[in-house]
């Protein structure tokens, strides 16, 4: 053997140092050691159940694997790049500890199904953590909604003032987005938590293995159905990264609003000091850097998703070494998504709002114009005409620098003789919100229903 590699038998030349460096993955796949060792213990146990190994051999392997685990956890393990990846690092050390029986662990298994198993377990574990932080964020948004039921602000379309909405309704809109994200994560887990072990290199194995027993030992929901698919499928990683990308999209939209809302021209929110930064030259500045970075990091998570999609799209069946490039994008995506959601939850829980500035913005934007048009319709005027009349009122108010509600009845009647004293209650912003009784609207009844639904969901 030219090398002490586990696969060195047919080679007469040592691997070039540059190639060793270029092809190794241990620098980063070492992060999968918990899953790799759990998978190997399950595999050894199954081989003993099937009579492929003796019980004594399986026990020896299992104890050796525990020792390796302990060495890694305590930082004593010596990872070697020349062993290529974590699988071969662990197996080599195991064989040092337990002797020749270490060579029996890989019976009926390949690194191709082994790495797929490790990564499926890892992605599943990380998704479980995403669920925890997303739930926390939803909880904060629902608390804010509960707290600010009576605060009104302009709702926008085209980023132009449109109609008044409650701050509660606005917070709940995000809570619903993140609730769908939570459901998407659960859905991904159904597919990631499936064991590929037993597919071996690509075609299955001649040993009398029992994949279902491995899956059960690892708490996985089921096993693969096709060995070629099992070793070449990376859908579960891409799905997870798509779900992460969509969460970042939602976070980024919220960040964008917080950035606008914190601008003094709006002044709707007071960013907590602990989540803002200052300028080294302009003493008055308080910058929304956390929001900006989160918006920026969204692009990076999309990049992670696209890097793997691009890697996989041209691959023939079954395993190809290109697939080793699946790990770093996911690790990056995982850290970014997890930390972003968690920081957003912390930041939102400390966010201060300025209800007075929100109310002042309602007046500036003629947010009761639709109410006046709807009022004219109730007086028998066709909607198009009502729309036109109201437009003239707005144009007049704009010239005068006043709100519609500031005009007296006499003035209003110059625009339409159908206007009567009952117009006053229609023009109040609170009335505009309170009168919205349709399903899912910003009206107080709908907001109460949404908050109750969210609270019930959070409890379960």
* Kind plus residue range of the DSSP H or E element containing 165: strand 160-166
The encoded tokens of residue 108 equal 């009926």
At its nearest, how many Å lie between ligand ARG and the CB of residue 237? 12
Question: Catalytic: which of 158, 280, 439, 460?
Answer: 158
At its nearest, how many Å lie between ligand ARG and the CB of residue 77? 17
Between 115 and 427, CB nearer to ligand ARG: 115
Decide: residue 32, CB within 10 A, 0-12 exposed, 13-18 middle, 19+ buried. buried
At its nearest, how many Å lie between ligand ARG and the CB of residue 111? 4
Any residues with CB less than 8 A from the CB of 448 and at least 6 apart, and which? 149
Between 261 and 319, CB nearer to ligand ARG: 319
At its nearest, how many Å lie between ligand ARG and the CB of residue 200? 11
Any residues with CB less than 8 A from the CB of 323 and at least 6 apart, and which? 232, 234, 311, 312, 315
At its nearest, how many Å lie between ligand ARG and the CB of residue 327? 6
Does residue 352 sit in helix, strand or coil? strand
Between 315 and 394, CB nearer to ligand ARG: 315
Mark out the alpha helices in 314-443 (DSSP H runs): 327-349, 355-364, 369-378, 383-400, 409-413, 423-427, 429-434
Any residues with CB less than 8 A from the CB of 249 and at least 6 apart, and which? 298
158 included as an active-site residue: yes
- Single out the residue of 370, 369, 381 nearest to residue 419, CA to CA: 381
Any residues with CB less than 8 A from the CB of 102 and at least 6 apart, and which? 61, 64, 91, 94, 95, 96
24: left (phi over 0), alpha (psi -120 to 50) or beta: beta
Q: List % helix, strand, coil for the chain (3-state, nearest 5).
A: 65, 5, 30
Between 113 and 371, CB nearer to ligand ARG: 113
Between 90 and 426, CB nearer to ligand ARG: 90
The encoded tokens of residue 393 equal 């009122």
At its nearest, how many Å lie between ligand ARG and the CB of residue 73? 22
At its nearest, how many Å lie between ligand ARG and the CB of residue 69? 19
Please give the span between the terminal C-alpha atoms of the chain, in angstroms, as a whole number.
60
Between 87 and 144, CB nearer to ligand ARG: 87
Any residues with CB less than 8 A from the CB of 408 and at least 6 apart, and which? none
The encoded tokens of residue 293 equal 């970075």
Tell me if 301 sits within 8 A of 245, measured CB to CB. yes
Across 370-384, b (16+ Cβ under 10 Å) vs e yields: bbbbbbbbeeebeee
Mark out the alpha helices in 195-320 (DSSP H runs): 211-217, 227-232, 235-262, 289-313
Between 6 and 97, CB nearer to ligand ARG: 6
At its nearest, how many Å lie between ligand ARG and the CB of residue 1? 18
Q: Which residues bind ligand ARG (CB under 6 A)?
A: 25, 29, 85, 111-112, 115, 319, 321, 323-324
49 DSSP assignment? H
Between 192 and 252, CB nearer to ligand ARG: 192
At its nearest, how many Å lie between ligand ARG and the CB of residue 244? 20
Q: Using CA atoms, how far apart are residues 414 and 393, in angstroms rounded to an integer?
A: 10
279 included as an active-site residue: yes
Tell me how many degrees the CA angle 86-87-92 measures, rounded to the nearest 5. Answer: 95
Between 29 and 181, CB nearer to ligand ARG: 29
Active site residues: 158, 279
């Amino acid at each position: 053997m030219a090398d002490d590699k586990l696969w060195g038998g047919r080679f007469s030349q040592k691997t070039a140092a540059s190639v060793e460096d270029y092809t190794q993955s241990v620098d980063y796949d070492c992060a999968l050691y918990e899953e790799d060792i759990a998978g190997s213990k399950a595999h050894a146990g199954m081989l003993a159940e099937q009579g492929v190994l003796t019980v004594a051999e399986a026990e020896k392997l299992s104890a050796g694997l525990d020792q390796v685990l302990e060495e890694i956890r305590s930082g004593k393990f010596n990872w070697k790049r020349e062993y290529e990846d974590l699988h071969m690092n662990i197996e080599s050390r195991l064989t040092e500890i337990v002797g020749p029986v270490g060579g029996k662990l890989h019976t009926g298994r390949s690194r191709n199904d082994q790495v797929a198993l490790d990564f499926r377990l890892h992605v599943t574990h990380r998704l479980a953590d995403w669920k925890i932080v997303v739930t926390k964020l939803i909880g904060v948004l629902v608390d804010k909604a509960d707290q600010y039921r009576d605060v009104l602000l302009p709702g926008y379309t085209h980023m132009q003032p449109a109609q008044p909405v409650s701050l509660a309704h606005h917070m709940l809109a995000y809570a619903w987005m993140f609730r769908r994200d939570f459901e998407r994560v659960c859905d991904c887990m159904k597919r990631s938590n499936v064991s590929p072990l037993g597919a071996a290199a690509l075609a299955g194995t001649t040993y009398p293995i029992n994949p279902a027993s491995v899956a059960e030992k690892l708490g996985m929901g089921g096993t693969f159905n096709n060995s070629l698919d099992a070793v070449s499928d990376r859908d579960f990683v891409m799905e997870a990264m798509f779900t992460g990308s969509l969460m970042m999209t939602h976070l980024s939209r919220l960040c964008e609003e917080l950035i606008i809302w914190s601008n003094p021209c709006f002044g709707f929110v007071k960013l907590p000091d602990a989540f803002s930064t200052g300028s080294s030259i302009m003493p008055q500045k308080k910058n929304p850097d956390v929001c900006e970075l989160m918006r920026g990091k969204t692009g990076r998570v999309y990049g992670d998703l696209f890097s793997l999609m691009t890697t996989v799209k041209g691959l023939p069946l079954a395993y190809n070494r290109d697939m080793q490039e699946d790990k770093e994008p996911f690790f990056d995506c995982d850290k970014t998504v997890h930390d972003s959601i968690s920081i957003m939850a912390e930041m939102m829980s400390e966010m201060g709002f300025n209800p007075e500035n929100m109310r002042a913005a309602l007046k500036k934007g003629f947010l009761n114009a639709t109410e006046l048009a709807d009022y004219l319709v109730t007086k028998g005027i066709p909607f198009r005409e009502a729309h036109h009349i109201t437009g003239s009122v707005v144009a007049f108010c704009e010239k005068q620098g006043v709100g519609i509600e500031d005009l007296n009845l006499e003035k209003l009647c110059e625009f339409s003789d159908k206007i009567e004293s009952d117009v006053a209650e229609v023009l109040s912003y609170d009335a505009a919100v309170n009168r919205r009784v349709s399903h899912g609207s910003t009206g107080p009844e709908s907001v109460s229903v949404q908050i109750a639904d969210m609270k019930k969901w959070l409890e379960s």
